[in-house]
Amino acid sequence: MAIVKYKIRVLYSFPHKIGAQRICTTAWHQVEGVAAAGADVTVYAGSIARPFTKNVKLHTTLAFNSWRKLRIPYQLLGILRACAMHDRKVARALNTGAIQTDIVHVWPLAALHTIRAAKSLGIPAVLERPNAHTRFAYEVVEKECQRLGISMPPGHEHAYKADWLELEEAEYRLTDRILCPSDFVARTFTDKGFSPDVIARHQYGYEEKIYYPGNGTRSGSGLTMLFVGGCAPRKGLHYALDAWLQSSACEDGTFLIAGEFIPGYAELLSRQLADSSVKVLGHRNDVPDLMRQSDLLVLPTIEEGSALVTSEARGSGCVLLVSEAAGAICKHGENALVHPVGDVNQLAIHISTLNEDRALLEKLRASSMATVNEATWTAAGKKLLEVYEEIIQN
């Protein structure tokens, strides 16, 4: 007689428009991945932008029409009030017995009431941490901005917000586990005094149907290096530009920059950006194609969660040149080259080395492609389910 494996019941609480961009994409893939791995998932989301393909039970907390796509605008309520409304609705559903679950997965700014409800019922709660510890992130970004003589725009996600920080730190203290997608993120918590026992390591992934390698060889003799992301001090574009211009690759290669600049940053970097080897593309909707046309993906970020762009680039055939803070799923010297944060000289050496040793470039690329299945959303879903199982058992 076949043994039927018990399905873990998961309550997944996400206060935003699940399936939209950025963290909304991450949340959607987490739900899809863990459902595909065998979990029974109930989602409470603010609203939905992309329907699930797996068997997922969905409830919306801020939508108000039958299609569940129209929602109360965050601009009307403010992000904190909207997140609090979502949090209370999920907590109420738990307290009234409307949800039967084995574990609760919550997101920042919308977790306190839900975690308290879960604890009162003896249900473990895990808090997603899509970025480094918020206090660390604020501190390191502010320090870098001061060093460069630039300010973050008011309201920017990495501009200091005392009320956000207070709420998130309360969530950190209350939750049973903090889900960290990289060793770098985990370290920002242990460095702040959190016990390693509170940290649970999982990972993010990439969409294989969108990010895949091209069929032909890359054209031209020079290297093509690509940067994708918000052009701001946090992402370290200034380090990438300085390293590129120090390297031998700038002589006949091309550095492509895809992303929008915060005010004042392009002006600060005007000399580097004016070099003939540098091409500023602005915001692009053809990033997968750009990746397939590029040899390298550079991300010298000073703080990160686990940048999705790094796995997407691997899937597209790029070799990664990343900082230790990028949270990339890779191994230095095996399928990528990793440098210390802010080390322009080391990054320049990495660029020059791959420009001058194409055999090494191809070796790293081949190794990356051979192991890129470790960085898919399917792999991430299996890993997340394993984390759930370990927490429930303990």
Q: Kindly state whether residues 111 and 234 are assigned to the same domain.
A: no
* Per-residue model confidence as pLDDT tens digits over 19-46: 999 999 999 999 999 999 999 999 999 9
Please indicate, yes or no, if residue 210 is contained in any of the structural domains: no
> pLDDT at residue 71 above 60?
no
Q: Which two tokens stand for residue 279?
A: 């091409």
Q: How many CA atoms lie within 13 A of 4 on its CB side?
A: 3
* Per-residue model confidence as pLDDT tens digits over 75-126: 556 889 999 999 999 999 999 998 999 999 999 999 999 999 999 999 999 9
Q: Single out the residue of 50, 55, 48, 44 nearest to residue 107, CA to CA.
A: 44
Residue 170's pLDDT band, with cuts at 50, 70 and 90, is very high
Q: Kindly state whether residues 280 and 293 are assigned to the same domain.
A: yes
Residue 156's pLDDT band, with cuts at 50, 70 and 90, is confident
Please indicate, yes or no, if residue 248 is contained in any of the structural domains: yes
**The predicted structure's pLDDT at residue 64:** 60
Q: How many domains does the chain have?
A: 2
**The predicted structure's pLDDT at residue 175:** 98
Q: Kindly state whether residues 78 and 201 are assigned to the same domain.
A: yes
Please indicate, yes or no, if residue 213 is contained in any of the structural domains: no
**The predicted structure's pLDDT at residue 2:** 39
Residue 53's pLDDT band, with cuts at 50, 70 and 90, is confident
**The predicted structure's pLDDT at residue 173:** 97
Q: Find out whether 23 and 16 touch, Cβ atoms under 8 Å.
A: yes
**The predicted structure's pLDDT at residue 189:** 97
CATH number of 277's domain? 3.40.50.2000
Residues 6+ apart with CB under 8 A from 247: 348, 349, 351, 352, 355
Q: Kindly state whether residues 23 and 58 are assigned to the same domain.
A: yes
Please indicate, yes or no, if residue 214 is contained in any of the structural domains: no
Residue 63's pLDDT band, with cuts at 50, 70 and 90, is confident
Q: Which two tokens stand for residue 388?
A: 């759930």
> pLDDT at residue 216 above 90?
no
> pLDDT at residue 326 above 80?
yes
> pLDDT at residue 327 above 60?
yes
Over residues 299-321, the mean pLDDT reads 96
Percent residues over pLDDT 70 in the chain: 94
Q: Kindly state whether residues 241 and 371 are assigned to the same domain.
A: yes
Identity of the residue numbered 289? D
**The predicted structure's pLDDT at residue 66:** 42
**The predicted structure's pLDDT at residue 217:** 58
Residue 47's pLDDT band, with cuts at 50, 70 and 90, is very high
Residue 394's pLDDT band, with cuts at 50, 70 and 90, is confident
In degrees, to the nearest 5, what angle opens at C-alpha 17 toward C-alphas 76 and 376?
155
Q: Kindly state whether residues 169 and 244 are assigned to the same domain.
A: no
Q: Kindly state whether residues 17 and 130 are assigned to the same domain.
A: yes
Q: Which two tokens stand for residue 335?
A: 């399928």
**The predicted structure's pLDDT at residue 1:** 34
Please indicate, yes or no, if residue 2 is contained in any of the structural domains: no
Which three-class secondary structure string do you get for 162-175?
HHHHHHHHHHHHHC
Please indicate, yes or no, if residue 267 is contained in any of the structural domains: yes
* Per-residue model confidence as pLDDT tens digits over 243-263: 999 999 999 999 999 999 999
Percent residues over pLDDT 90 in the chain: 87
Please indicate, yes or no, if residue 175 is contained in any of the structural domains: yes
Q: Kindly state whether residues 232 and 191 are assigned to the same domain.
A: no
* Per-residue model confidence as pLDDT tens digits over 185-205: 999 999 999 999 999 999 999
Q: Kindly state whether residues 238 and 274 are assigned to the same domain.
A: yes
Q: Find out whether 243 and 337 touch, Cβ atoms under 8 Å.
A: no
Q: Kindly state whether residues 174 and 265 are assigned to the same domain.
A: no
Average per-residue pLDDT for the chain: 93
Burial class for 94, CB neighbours closer than 10 Å (0-12, 13-18, 19+)? buried
Residue 67's pLDDT band, with cuts at 50, 70 and 90, is very low
Residue 54's pLDDT band, with cuts at 50, 70 and 90, is confident
Please indicate, yes or no, if residue 1 is contained in any of the structural domains: no
How much is the pTM? 0.92
> pLDDT at residue 231 above 80?
yes
Q: Kindly state whether residues 31 and 97 are assigned to the same domain.
A: yes
Helix-strand-coil split of the chain, %, nearest 5? 45, 20, 40
Q: Kindly state whether residues 320 and 335 are assigned to the same domain.
A: yes
Domain that holds residue 46: 9-205+377-393
